[in-house]
Structure 1
Amino acid sequence: MPSPSSAGDSTQLGALAVHLLTSRYLNDVISSNEWTVYRNAALYHAYASSESVSLADAKDDACDEWKEYCRRCFVLDKNWIGVTRVEPDTRAYCESSRDVHRFKIDEELGLLTGWLLWRTPSHYARRYTHVEYGHGYLVFDRAAGQKEVWRLADHVDDSVCVSAPDASQINASRIAERAYGRSGRGCLRPWTVLTTPDVTRFYRVVYPTLLAASQNTAYLWDLPSATLVQTIHGLQASHAGMEPLGEICYVDVNTRHVVLCGENGVRVVGREDNTVVLHLSGQRGFARTVLKPEPTLGSDRIPLTMSLQTEVTRSAGGHRWGQFRAAHLSGSGRDLACMLADGRLVLIRDFESIADGNLSVPEAVLEVDLTHVNSADSDEATYSHGLYVLTLDARERGLAESSGQPRPTLRTYRQPCGAKSATRRKRRALNLRTPLLNAADIAVSWLPRLSDPTVLRELGCVQLPRHKVSVSANVYRDDPDYYEPDVKNYWTGGPMFPPRSPPRDIGFVVCCVDFSAPESPENSS
């Protein structure tokens, strides 16, 4: 069988399904070479990262064949974009306490079980503390700004001492041990307390690194050794025409870069030499290409997930970005996503192409405008509410046709004469593969049931593991005004709240939507 790079469309799951149904000869060939065919399909659709990856390394659930693994991945992708007839499963956690402000999910260890495994003593953590977690390390801050680090007890080697918990941690650990034991699933042990000379309000854990930033200095620790490995000074420096970042409101990190999101802009700093490799200005920045999702009309039923049509606009000027709120690196470390204060999303694929001077910021950026949807009854723009899910490689994963949506509508506005041809000549001369995100590659879905503005204003936290979207919210307020005894609450899966019943105790629970709900093989092709 040919390699996935040379097989072309024949390795697409959609094409394979057609071959199996329309050609007895191809059916026999595919069936006789099933392992190789579907392994190539997994590579083609990016279900496996490389040709050296085995099925055991690629899969994260119980399946023994590449064909079944591809089917499950394809169904998962279709569930995310809201184009299947199967309703995702929903479930609520922490309903007894209803006091969840921040949470993290360890899917690999399966620690979200529905029952309490371990906890610190009451009132030990400060109110509304921020929580980070990665590879068994739990980090949260104290009122005075120090960062407490705890580690899963089963990962701790008592024969090796590399950290120094303080007395407060040790006392809290002894109290927890009396209730839950010294080790076991979900139990944690104190690891260390990290301090800085100034207040570091924003921090992020990407194993093995903890990044914490004050308004002018960033500190990076190696968590396993509990040592400070790097310090970056002068975060607000306004050199090379860059305005100061302003108040820092979000940070991210990987092995190569540190991302600093301030109200006035975003900077990506190289860890090798502490130099700024990318600066996005809120006052001057704009995108030439804007993607605007629109709701799909014509149905009275409110699904849990709705696929949205998209319209693309292009212009020479653009809408200036203004203030930033958050910035995240992709898992590959090549791409950057930034959220603006007004709800727009700025996406850059291969941001280092800007640093290398191969593309300008407006050329490299795709902006997704989530600030409004068009009203069905008027030409006025009305603000939308809810959670949106963007799949940035929909075409690569074979989802472009599955969505049932037309390709994005393109509207082009005037741009400077010769700009497009000059850009093409430059790319051709440099022999570059364009890093631009293509709007046709993006699928946008919406979770309309969580659209109550009151619920959204109180949304505490959102997590996005591979199979689920999880939020901490008071979703009981999202029950409709009517009551049907056999209808479940949209998110918790429990009985709907009768309007005339005694009011529920207001509080936050963790609500999960599981998009890996199984679908029968005949519906997955």
Structure 2
Amino acid sequence: MLHELPTEISLYIASYLPIQCLRNISLVSRAWHSLITHNVQAVYHNTAILHNFVHHADLQADSSGQSPDAKKIDWLKLCQRRFQIERGWRGKAPSIARELNSTGKFVHRMKVDQKENFVMTTRHTGGLSVSDYHTDRVLWAAAHADDYAHCEYDHGYIIFNRHDNNKEVWRYARDFQDSEIPEEFKPDDAMIKASLEAAEHHPSPTHRGHFRPWSLLHVPEFTRAFRFSYPTLLSAGVNHAYLWDVPTSRLVETISNIQAPNKDGTLGSLSYVEVNDQYAFFCGSNQLRIFARDGGALVYHLCMKNLQFTTWDVLPSNGDDPCPSSLFQPQRLHEAYHVSSTSQSNFIAAHVSSSGKDIAVLTAPGIFIWIPGFERLFHRETTLTDIATFLNFNTSRDGGGRDISVYLALGESNEKAAIATRKGLFVVSLGPDVSQLTAEAPPRPGLSVCRVAKYDHSRHLSFISCLQMTDTGLFFNWYPSSEQSRPSQPARRMVVIPPPPQHGHLHVPVQLSPQTQSQHTNLVQAPAQAMTAVGVEGQSNHLPGLALIESSDDEMWEDAAPDPPSPIIVEEAGPPPLVETHEEEEGVDEDEIEIDEGDLVVDDDADDFEMEEEEDDLVDDFQFGGDGFMQVIVNDWFLPINSSMVHYIHV
């Protein structure tokens, strides 16, 4: 019958067949086998489009294949590879974990360029480095970035903050000539000097992984968070947000009154910001707000108190792992109804999909919200309960609504999300169409969840300060495996008291509760107070914004500090790694800085087992702490001083 149809019609029919069906019908039908064999490029080109395996750039590359240097795509191999990748994410094919030593320890933030195969990292102790994640080799490094610098990266531009509130923009050295640098906000001498020194220390004829200064953006006021989505940089203060066009270094828009009260209150303390061509997104302690660009109108808001919906509890699967060599373990979803906790919590992150049509939101208590076609909410075409899916990652009986979320990342055009909580690392496959076409169609709600095996240490999970997701892998900072395998050492108890942050004339909300502060934040870190702390081996070190008070028991603690401002008790498994000193910024009056000094006393007689139990209790009570970890408060945010390097899991 098939041979009686024109080839064009037969190919049109084949374009609606899933990739599994193409293989099966080729095995059972000579006519179909002949059609597919003789038109393999056309058949699998249509298959790639059907399964969303192909991006617009790939289509352009294939359509221009007649040019001598054009990249001609093998559509059969592309479909085979994409199908295998999809199976890998779902725990149905092998996956591999690697530890990247070239990134060094004390990693704070990272960004990944999958096209160039390198990862960029900033550290607690300052500096910016670029490493090839295939060869685990440093390509380029500059000791220029400040301590705890937050960085953003897209389209060859990397942006990080300075303690003077300016934003440094560096650009991939291969992409431009010095004559193209914008006239406004040119790089300063410090940036140029750092660039020359980095190039001298890492000579390369190809300049792969090298960056050079592009501009130095002067933000009108102190800003708390920033996010870069090419070409726009969004930098938000307490009540105003500024949007820059990075390629031209121009301030193109200001959104005012982001805290303006409505019937449900204010935005609250800012946790995270996101931006695309049409909207700006703000995560606060009270609300998630979406503002339209080109006018700054508030088009939608969502309150924490309204999240009393049916959720899908993420639970361990009862069956065996489908692929023993996979690190991704499929989880089962159980429909349940939960009333939101009355305790104060917040939205910690929101990411918009590359299509601009969908958003993923994570709350501190562990609720992940996937909202496809979110613009329909603006026009009241539908309701949140009708279109959104709620996944609950905090299902234990003793959860009690505690904040457990650590980080949220959205994949690059692959309909995936990665979520780090104190209970585990998870990958969510979001696209129901992809699920139905490339794997077994999951039951309601159409999403599938896998847990990352072997990365389940609650204390180490708590100190993930960055998680990135590419098309084929996860990148996150983790306590080095060599340290994990060591026998337990006698734990050392310390009491950490953060001094009140100094904001000058700025009225910034300050949170000094012993509650976990999520590491997922694009908040700017302000200059920290420097003070001397005596290390466990008697060495004098400088710890920004951190005071250590003696404590061998509760009575001693009360005597030493009768009225401590928000004490934090953590456990230390060895000599604490301390950050480097950074000098006072210009214009800061040293006389106005009050320094609380103290001594550190270590209880060397503690029993390992007793300290393990005590440590677990402390984690439950305060929701952070752990082996070898200390915390420093910078700009009223608790940040880890932990020995961690980048781990890479790929499918």
TM range (shorter): 0.7 to 0.9
Equivalent of residue 245 in structure 1, options 267, 285, 309: 267
Q: Which residue of 1 aligns with 2:358?
A: 335
Deviations 1:365-412 (A, max 9, x none): 21011112699xxxxxx9972111111114435457537xx624xxxx
Task: Tell which structure's C-alpha radius of gyration is larger.
Answer: 2
Equivalent of residue 38 in structure 1, options 44, 63, 79: 44
In the alignment, structure 1 residue 453 sits paired with structure 2 residue 458: yes
Shift of 1:467: 0.9
Shift of 1:320: 6.7
In the alignment, structure 1 residue 279 sits paired with structure 2 residue 285: no
Shift of 1:5: 12
Aligned positions of 1:226-241 closer than 5 A: 226-239=249-262, 241=263
Q: Which residue of 2 aligns with 1:416?
A: none
Aligned positions of 1:347-496 closer than 5 A: 347-372=370-395, 385-398=423-436, 401-402=439-440, 407-408=443-444, 439-440=445-446, 442-476=447-481, 477-479=483-485
Aligned positions of 1:180-191 closer than 5 A: 180-181=202-203, 184-191=207-214
**Structure 1 residues 349-358 or 382-391, which shifts more?**
382-391
**What is the SS of the residue equivalent to 1:246?**
coil
Q: Which residue of 2 aligns with 1:158?
A: 178
Shift of 1:115: 1.5
> What runs of 5+ residues in structure 2 fail to find an aligned partner?
1-6, 66-70, 119-130, 399-403, 405-420, 489-626, 630-641
In the alignment, structure 1 residue 297 sits paired with structure 2 residue 346: no
Q: Which amino acid aligns with 2:179?
A: S
Q: Sort the Cα spacing of 1:478 and 1:41 in 2 relative to 1 into closer, same or farther, 3 A.
A: farther
In the alignment, structure 1 residue 194 sits paired with structure 2 residue 217: yes
**What is the SS of the residue equivalent to 1:117?**
strand
Q: Sort the Cα spacing of 1:448 and 1:229 in 2 relative to 1 into closer, same or farther, 3 A.
A: same
Q: Distance in 1 between matches of 2:484 and 2:9?
A: 50
Deviations 1:461-518 (A, max 9, x none): 1010111101111142554989xxxxxxxxxxxxxxxxxxxx9997211111111xxx
Q: Distance in 1 between matches of 2:477 and 2:58?
A: 39
Q: Distance in 1 between matches of 2:353 and 2:227?
A: 14
Equivalent of residue 106 in structure 1, options 92, 113, 117: 113
Q: Distance in 2 between matches of 1:469 and 1:58?
A: 32
Q: Distance in 2 between matches of 1:69 and 1:50?
A: 14
**What is the SS of the residue equivalent to 1:243?**
coil
| Structure 1 vs Structure 2 CA RMSD | 3.3
Q: Which residue of 1 aligns with 2:80?
A: 71
In the alignment, structure 1 residue 22 sits paired with structure 2 residue 49: no
CA contact (8 A) 1:284 1:320 kept: no
Deviations 1:150-205 (A, max 9, x none): 11222222223414111221222232233234981122212222222322121111
Q: Which amino acid aligns with 2:478?
A: A
Q: Sort the Cα spacing of 1:312 and 1:504 in 2 relative to 1 into closer, same or farther, 3 A.
A: closer
In the alignment, structure 1 residue 137 sits paired with structure 2 residue 175: no
CA contact (8 A) 1:256 1:271 kept: yes
Q: Which residue of 2 aligns with 1:258?
A: 280
**Which structure is richer in relative contact order (CA contacts within 8 A, separation 6 or more)?**
1
Q: TM-score by structure 2 length?
A: 0.63
**What is the SS of the residue equivalent to 2:108?**
coil
Q: Which amino acid aligns with 1:200?
A: T
Shift of 1:58: 12
In the alignment, structure 1 residue 511 sits paired with structure 2 residue 647: yes
**What is the SS of the residue equivalent to 2:305?**
coil
Q: Distance in 2 between matches of 1:54 and 1:150?
A: 29
**What is the SS of the residue equivalent to 1:101?**
strand
Q: Sort the Cα spacing of 1:243 and 1:400 in 2 relative to 1 into closer, same or farther, 3 A.
A: farther
CA contact (8 A) 2:11 2:43 kept: no
CA contact (8 A) 1:3 1:40 kept: no
> What runs of 5+ residues in structure 1 fail to find an aligned partner?
376-381, 409-438, 483-502, 516-525
Equivalent of residue 325 in structure 1, options 339, 348, 367: 348
**What is the SS of the residue equivalent to 1:178?**
helix
CA contact (8 A) 2:20 2:438 kept: no
Shift of 1:92: 1.8
Q: Which amino acid aligns with 1:110?
A: N
Q: Distance in 2 between matches of 1:72 and 1:386?
A: 28
**What is the SS of the residue equivalent to 2:201?**
helix
Q: Distance in 1 between matches of 2:30 and 2:256?
A: 67
Q: Which residue of 1 aligns with 2:569?
A: none
Q: Sort the Cα spacing of 1:140 and 1:17 in 2 relative to 1 into closer, same or farther, 3 A.
A: same
Shift of 1:251: 0.5
Q: Distance in 1 between matches of 2:438 and 2:265?
A: 40
**What is the SS of the residue equivalent to 1:105?**
strand
Q: Sort the Cα spacing of 1:309 and 1:45 in 2 relative to 1 into closer, same or farther, 3 A.
A: same
Identity over aligned pairs, percent:
27
CA contact (8 A) 2:152 2:228 kept: yes
Q: Which residue of 1 aligns with 2:92?
A: 83
Instruction: Give the length in aligned residue pairs.
Output: 446
Q: Sort the Cα spacing of 1:312 and 1:23 in 2 relative to 1 into closer, same or farther, 3 A.
A: farther
Shift of 1:267: 0.9
Q: Distance in 2 between matches of 1:398 and 1:63?
A: 29
